[in-house]
């Protein structure tokens, strides 16, 4: 299936792009994250399991068990700090 993946803030800077249309066999956010971890060293570093990464599915904050569907939008971003 095809999904749109969006990257924000420091993740976008590390990967070098704000979004991509991706063909995936992943059924969940966790599986998609695993695919992305293998995509490049920049993906592996910025989306590493030990890092705090927030995810949204179709603009709704979601955990890794969220189920993907054809044409969905997934967003990855670091935690937001205020000040």
In the predicted model, is pLDDT for residue 83 greater than 60?
Answer: no
User: Does residue 55 contact residue 29 with C-beta atoms inside 8 Å?
Assistant: yes
Domain with 37 in it: what CATH number? Answer: 3.10.20.30
Domain count, the chain: 1
Structural domain contains residue 55? yes
In the predicted model, is pLDDT for residue 73 greater than 70?
Answer: yes
Q: Which tens digit of pLDDT belongs to each residue from 13-72?
A: 999 999 999 999 999 999 999 999 999 999 999 999 988 899 999 999 999 999 999 999
Query: Using H for helix, E for strand and C for coil, what is the string for 26-83?
Result: CCEHHHHHHHHHCCCHHHHHHCCCCCCCEEEECCEECCCCCECCCCCEEEEECCCCCC
Structural domain contains residue 82? no
What domain range includes position 57? 2-77
- Nearest-CA neighbor of 32 among 12, 9, 4? 4
Structural domain contains residue 14? yes
């Amino acid at each position: 299936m095809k999904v749109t993946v969006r990257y924000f803030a420091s993740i976008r800077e590390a990967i070098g792009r704000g979004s991509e249309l991706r063909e995936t066999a992943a059924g969940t956010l966790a599986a998609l994250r695993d695919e992305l971890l293998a995509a490049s060293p920049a993906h592996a570093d910025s989306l590493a399991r030990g890092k705090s990464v927030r995810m949204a599915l179709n603009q709704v904050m979601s955990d890794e068990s969220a189920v993907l569907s054809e044409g969905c939008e997934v967003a990855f971003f670091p935690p937001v700090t205020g000040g």
